[in-house]
A and B are shown apart, each in its own frame.
Chain A
Amino acid sequence: MGSGQESSRQLPQGAGRADQHRCGPAAERGRQVRFRFDGRAIAGCEGESIAAALAASGHRILRYTGRRGEPRGVFCNMGICFDCLVEIDGRPNQRACRSPVVEGIEVTTQQGVGRKDGA
Chain B
Amino acid sequence: MIEREAVIVGAGPAGMAAAIALCEAGMEPTVIDENPRVGGQIYRRPPAPQRRGEPDAADAPSQRGIELHRRFNGHRDRIELLAETPVWGLFPPGIVATGGDGGSRLISARQCLLATGAGEYVPPFPGWTLPGVMTPGGAQSMVKSMSVLPGRRAVVAGSGPFLLVVAAQLHDAGVEVAAVVEAARRRDLLRHGAGLLASMPMLREGRRCMRRLRRAGIPLLWGHVVVEAAGAPELSRVVIAPCDAQARPDRRRARSLEADTLCIGYGFVPRTELAQMAGCRMSYAEALGGWIPEVDEHLATSVPGIRVAGDGGGVAGALVAQLEGMLAGLAMARRAGRLDEGAWSARRRPVARQLAALRRFRSALDSIYRVRPGLVDLPGKDTLVCRCEELTRGEVEAGIANGGTDVRTLKVITRLGMGPCQGRMCWPAAARLIASRTGRSMSRVGPASVRPPIHGLCLGDLCPGPAEGDGEPAAVGAARQKGPT
A, B in one complex: yes
Interface residues as binary, A60-85 with B (CB distance below 8 Å gives 1, 0 otherwise): 11100111101111111111111101
List A16-71 residues whose CB lies under 8 Å from chain B: 21-24, 28-31, 45-49, 51-53, 55-56, 60-62, 65-68, 70-71
Within 8 A of A (CB), among B402-427: 419-421, 424-425
Residue of B nearest to A56 (CB): B148
Contacts A77-B134, A77-B139 given; indicate if A71 touches B234 (C-beta within 8 A).
yes
Asked whether, in the complex, the Cβ of B41 is within 8 Å of the Cβ of A4, the reply is no
| B129, A47: Cβ atoms closer than 8 Å | no
Q: Are A1 and B233 in contact (CB under 8 A)?
A: no
Chain A 89-114 interface 0/1 with B at a Cβ cutoff of 8 Å (1 = within): 10101100101101001000000000
Task: Give the residue name and chain of the A residue nearest to B480 (CB).
Answer: A1
When the two chains form their complex, are residues A24 and B483 in contact, meaning their CB atoms are under 8 A apart? no
A3 to B133, CA, bound (A): 34
Distance A100 CA – B482 CA, assembled complex (angstroms): 11
The answer to whether B390 touches A67, judged by C-beta atoms less than 8 angstroms apart, is yes
- Complex Cα distance, B46 from A49, in Å, reads 11
Q: Nearest CB to that of A71 among chain B residues?
A: B233
Query: Could you give 21 example pairs across A and B, Cβ below 8 Å?
Result: A1-B48, A4-B48, A4-B50, A29-B50, A31-B49, A45-B49, A48-B146, A51-B142, A52-B148, A61-B234, A73-B131, A73-B132, A75-B135, A76-B120, A76-B137, A77-B142, A80-B119, A80-B424, A82-B456, A88-B484, A97-B138
Q: Least Cβ distance of B383 to chain A in Å?
A: 12
Q: Is the CB of A23 within 8 A of B425?
A: no
Known contacts A88-B484, A91-B485, A94-B484: does B47 contact A47 (CB below 8 Å)? Answer: yes
Residues of A near B142 (CB, < 8 A) are 51-52, 55, 74, 77
Complex alpha-carbon distance, A56 and B143, angstroms:
11
| Interfacial chain B residues near A47, Cβ < 8 Å | 46-50
CB-contacts of B21-51 with A (<8 A)? 34, 36, 41, 46-51
Q: Which single member of B130, B425, B483 contacts A76 (CB below 8 Å)?
A: B425
Q: Mark B167-184, 1 if CB is under 8 A from A, else 0.
A: 000000110000000000
Residues of A within 8 A of B139 (CB): 77
Contacts A71-B233, A73-B131, A88-B484; A48 near B138 (Cβ below 8 A): no
Which residues of A have CB within 8 Å of B483? 100, 102, 105
Contacting residues, chain A, for B79 (C-beta < 8 A):
none
The yes or no answer to B124 lying at the interface (CB within 8 A) is no
Also in contact, A75 and B133, with CB within 8 A (given A29-B147, A91-B485): yes
Contact A62 B131 (CB under 8 A): yes
Q: What is the bound-complex CA distance between A77 and B136, given in angstroms? A: 10
Interface size class of B (residues with CB under 8 A): 35 or more
Complex Cα distance A81/B455, Å?
A: 11
Which of B148, B233, B390, B421 interacts with A48 by CB under 8 Å?
Answer: B148
B53 near A: Cβ within 8 Å? yes
In the complex where A60-B131, A68-B390 touch, is A77 in contact with B46 (Cβ < 8 A)? no
Residue numbers in B under 8 Å from A22 (CB-CB)? 147-149
| B53→A102 contact, CB < 8 A | no
Contact status A71-B120, CB under 8 Å:
no
Cβ–Cβ contact A93 & B420, under 8 A = yes
Residues in B with CB closer than 8 Å to A99 are: 484
- A19: shortest Cβ distance to chain B, in Å? 10
User: Nearest B residue to A29 by beta-carbon distance?
Assistant: B50
User: A74-B134, A82-B388 given as contacts; is B47 within 8 A of A48 (CB)?
Assistant: yes
Q: Hey, which chain A residues are within 8 Å of B387, CB to CB?
A: 72, 75, 81, 83
Separation in Å of the B241 CB from the closest CB of chain A? 23
A45-B50, A72-B129 known; A61 vs B233 contact (CB < 8 Å):
yes
Chain B nearest CB from A60 CB (Å) reads 4
Known contacts A30-B50, A94-B484; can you find 14 more A-B pairs with CB under 8 A? Answer: A24-B147, A47-B47, A47-B49, A52-B148, A55-B150, A68-B390, A72-B129, A73-B134, A74-B134, A77-B138, A78-B119, A78-B138, A93-B420, A100-B47
Instruction: Determine the distance from Cα of A2 to Cα of B49 in the docked complex, in whole angstroms.
Output: 7
Chain A residues within an 8 Å CB radius of B349:
none
Is A78 a contact of B485 with CB atoms below 8 Å?
no
Which residues of A are found within 8 Å of B233, using beta-carbon distances?
Answer: 61, 71
Contact B149–A23 (Cβ < 8 Å): yes
A60 to B133, CA, bound (A): 10
* A85–B131 CA distance with the chains assembled, in angstroms: 13
Please tell me if B52 contacts chain A, counting CB pairs below 8 Å: yes
B141 at the interface (CB under 8 A from A): yes
Q: Which residue of B lies closest to A89 (CB)?
A: B484
List of 5 A-B pairs having minimum Cβ-Cβ separation, nearest first: A4-B49, A77-B138, A73-B131, A47-B47, A30-B49
Query: How far is it, in angstroms, between the C-alpha of A38 and the C-alpha of B173 when the chains are bound?
Result: 29
Looking at the assembled complex, report how far the CB atom of A46 sits from the nearest CB atom of chain B, in whole angstroms: 4
Q: Which residue of A lies closest to B130 (CB)?
A: A71
Tell which of A23, A49, A53, A79 has the most Cβ of chain B within 10 Å: A23
Query: How many whole Å from A81's CB to the nearest CB in chain B?
Result: 5
